[in-house]
Amino acid sequence: MFLAWLEKTLWRHRRFISALTVIFIIQFFELALLYVKYDIFVGGFLQPYAYRTPLQRALFIAISFWYDFLLFGALAYFWFYIADRLNKYGILIYYSFTIVVLLIMGIWLGLKFKVLSYFNDTINYQIIANLGGGSLKQGLLYAANEIVLFTAILAVIMLIFAFSTRFLKNHQYSRDYQKQIPQSAILKWSLISMAIVTPLITYRLSDNALLRYGLEKKTSYKMISAGLDSLTDFDRDGYGSFGYPKDSAPWDARIYPGALDIPGNSINEDGLLGDAELTPLASDPLRGISPKPGKHIVLIVLETARADLLDQKVNGHYVAPVMREIARTGTSAEYAYSHTGYTTTSLMALFNRELIHNDDRIKLLDFLKDSGYNISIISGQDESFGDVATNTGMNKKGNYYFDARTAIEDRVYPSKDSGSLRLSEERVVEQFRKRFAELNFNQPQFIYLNFQAAHFPYSHPNMRKILIEEFIPRSEIRSQNREWVAATYWNAVANADWAVGQVVEVLKSKNLYGQTTLVVLGDHGESLFEDGFLGHGHAINEAQTHIPLLINDPSIEIREAVGQVDVAEIAIRSALGLKNQWLNPDKTVFQLVGSLKLPALIGHITYGGKRVIFDFRNEQVYMSDLQQWKPYGDWLEDVDQQSRITNLIREWENLKWHEFEFRKQSRLIKMH
């Protein structure tokens, strides 16, 4: 009796059960992929948010299920409606729905996460993590066979579906329950109720950064929120009321988040501070310096180098004794900063001396070429990544150019993707020695070196264990092991310090150290869980943006905040023996997270580390000296602080406007 009752009950609710089956399976696999790729429940590299508490996890999973049910429940209802119209009944209808939807979602999720996994090995997808942890067997299998394997699995699934469908057609379910038992309306009324409530939920979620972070990676939430946002985009400017950020002027297509605020047109396009005010860019100080030969210049960029490396000790030993000696006998900029917290944009700021495309600003390599310098580029990364080599002039004809792409067979990881290519410190030093032996030092030389030692995951299979006995395995990198993570990171910095020492040793062995301006700096810093984050580029703080800047020239005075756009001029003035004083304590260094068009954060920092940060996500402003977040409108009413936030927003608007103008001019020149 029970089995008969159960059978009838299941058949009565077959549509609802079929939809739930699909939803549970999709929910399980999509959440698993999100966990593997983003460490979404524990926090991982470059991930600003995670659901660590039981309440956060339960809430995220419940909301995730809600949107999955609405999307896939609606697909189920539509499928069964069509089947009814075609007078199709029987178990094959439900089997087909389940298999077809799961197959489509499986292909989509496979392609989605696979495409992202090729970006670079810093994204925590499990097989990529094996590469990062040094598993050569897994790495080679992934690099060589993953596409074939993925295609083969899909083919097998489709064959199984085809044979199963044929079998079910020949063995249809015999009971005629579709006529004897009326179909439950629970699926229909559940969907109607949810459709009424979902816009309100979506509107509230769009303002919650923590929940939105994970939900935007869910297919169902992304589709539903994008649909609602499009429906409320009344002025068709690309922004509605259900996405993030929201359109503050839904009926005016000129005003939307990130809009270019055109100076002098009496329209506040970006919704901040009224109409933009145009300020001319500062004149280029290099135009006042005549190009001429000077001392040799060696510029060393350290990947992921924090400013506190000079004072850091591990097991009683200084992490960077070589760089400490450079700082002791030369100059160390106490307040030097990365503008963006990203490698590619930092390098372009360093070599192009500006945060925007600016044809009026002389690039470092162009000035050195005009001064008669021979250019040598020796990098442990692929400098074509982000078009750095082209945009900075590194790969121009006549330059000596060596990077991880040109020595691809010597890479430390199997992946050949541009973002993953790395050479060991030993390999870069070897190439430096080889190039050094070829150079004629009667001609001024410029040598750029890039050491990748401290790149995530802070070790590679052949890295030397200078300060510790064991590297943290990639699978163990999480907040609970922050001390082990930090120790592994500092050991990597020690390897970079060793490499800098080899360069110094070579210069001194040829009595060229005193005839060379040696500059060592970081591209950006790194949060090591001390502020709740791991990685860089998602916060404006000391750990992620404060960098070392060392010059072997003791005559330089730096008592102001300097950014990477200032470093080229410092190096040139040192090499030419010119007065080199940076003594404006009120000078600000501009910083941002995200794109210049629509950043998440912008900030100013001055000498002494005094910060002001504007968060576009909630229009809050942080003043570090006051240790306070407040709505930016409140700060504007504070006569003592209003100029700080005004200057910050005005600089951002001005940079964006000049970037637009320069690119427009470049397009016009190309057209003619």
Q: pLDDT of 392-411, one tens digit each?
A: 999 999 999 999 999 999 99
Q: Which residues contact 411 (CB under 8 A, 6 or more apart)?
A: 404, 421, 422, 423
Distance, in Å, from the CA atom of 601 to the CA atom of 584, rounded to the nearest integer, reads: 25
The predicted model gives 144-156 an average pLDDT of 51
What pLDDT score does 162 carry?
A: 62
**Using 50, 70 and 90 to split pLDDT, how confident is the model at 167?**
low
**Using 50, 70 and 90 to split pLDDT, how confident is the model at 244?**
confident
pLDDT at 609 over 80: yes
Mean pLDDT score across all residues of the chain: 86
The predicted model gives 35-58 an average pLDDT of 83
Which of 91-100, 227-236, 388-397, 506-515 shows the lowest mean pLDDT across its residues?
A: 91-100
Letter for the amino acid at 178? Q
What pLDDT score does 146 carry?
A: 44
The predicted model gives 563-581 an average pLDDT of 97
Cα–Cα distance list, 657 to 261, 264, 278, 417, 514 (Å): 7, 12, 8, 34, 44
pLDDT at 117 over 80: no
Distance, in Å, from the CA atom of 453 to the CA atom of 482, rounded to the nearest integer, reads: 19
What pLDDT score does 38 carry?
A: 80
Helix-then-strand count for the chain, H and E: 20, 21
**Using 50, 70 and 90 to split pLDDT, how confident is the model at 22?**
confident
Distance, in Å, from the CA atom of 44 to the CA atom of 377, rounded to the nearest integer, reads: 33
Letter for the amino acid at 44? G
Distance, in Å, from the CA atom of 611 to the CA atom of 84, rounded to the nearest integer, reads: 65
Dihedral angle computed from the Cα positions of residues 102, 65, 70 and 44, in that order, rounded to the nearest 10 degrees: -80
What pLDDT score does 663 carry?
A: 84
Distance, in Å, from the CA atom of 653 to the CA atom of 275, rounded to the nearest integer, reads: 10
Which of 5-9, 184-188, 238-242, 434-438 shows the lowest mean pLDDT across its residues?
A: 5-9
Percent of the chain with pLDDT strictly greater than 70 = 86
Distance, in Å, from the CA atom of 584 to the CA atom of 90, rounded to the nearest integer, reads: 81
List the one residue out of 293, 291, 296 whose CA is nearest residue 515: 296
Comparison of pLDDT for 448 and 249, the residue scoring more: 448
292-587 folds as: Alkaline Phosphatase, subunit A (3.40.720)
Angle at 405 between CA 36 and CA 415, to 5 degrees: 25
Distance, in Å, from the CA atom of 543 to the CA atom of 77, rounded to the nearest integer, reads: 51
**Using 50, 70 and 90 to split pLDDT, how confident is the model at 140?**
very low
**DSSP single-letter state for residue 380:** S
Distance, in Å, from the CA atom of 261 to the CA atom of 255, rounded to the nearest integer, reads: 9
Give bridge partners of residue 298 from the DSSP assignment: 447, 518
Residue 25 phi/psi, 5-degree rounding, is: -65, -45
Q: What is the pLDDT of residues 254-263, one digit of tens each?
A: 988 888 999 9
Most confident of 99-103, 231-235, 477-481: 231-235
**DSSP single-letter state for residue 479:** G
Q: Is the pTM of this model over 0.85?
A: no
On whether the CB atoms of residues 657 and 649 are closer than 8 A, the answer is no
What pLDDT score does 37 carry?
A: 77
Enumerate the domain spans of the chain.
Answer: 2-200, 262-285+588-672, 292-587
The predicted model gives 522-543 an average pLDDT of 91
Dihedral angle computed from the Cα positions of residues 276, 280, 284 and 285, in that order, rounded to the nearest 10 degrees: -110
What pLDDT score does 402 carry?
A: 97
On whether the CB atoms of residues 516 and 552 are closer than 8 A, the answer is yes
CB < 8 Å & 24+ apart, contacts of 87-95: 89/178, 90/172, 90/173, 90/178, 91/168, 91/172, 91/173, 92/165, 92/168, 92/169, 92/172, 94/14, 94/15, 94/18, 95/164, 95/165, 95/168
List the one residue out of 255, 197, 254, 218 whose CA is nearest residue 65: 218
Which of 178-187, 356-365, 652-661 shows the lowest mean pLDDT across its residues?
A: 178-187
List the one residue out of 663, 671, 302 whose CA is nearest residue 453: 302
pLDDT at 92 over 90: no
Comparison of pLDDT for 45 and 650, the residue scoring more: 650
| Strand pairing class (400-402; 374-379) | parallel
Give bridge partners of residue 314 from the DSSP assignment: 317
Residue 393 phi/psi, 5-degree rounding, is: 90, 10
pLDDT at 620 over 70: yes
What pLDDT score does 533 carry?
A: 85
DSSP of 222-241, one letter per residue?
A: HHHHHHHHHHT-TT-SS--S
What pLDDT score does 107 carry?
A: 77
DSSP of 198-264, one letter per residue?
A: HHHHHHHHTT-HHHHHHHTTSHHHHHHHHHHHHHT-TT-SS--SSSSSPPS-TT-TT--TT----TT
Percent of the chain with pLDDT strictly greater than 90 = 60
Question: Can you tell me whether residue 446 is helix, strand or coil?
Answer: strand
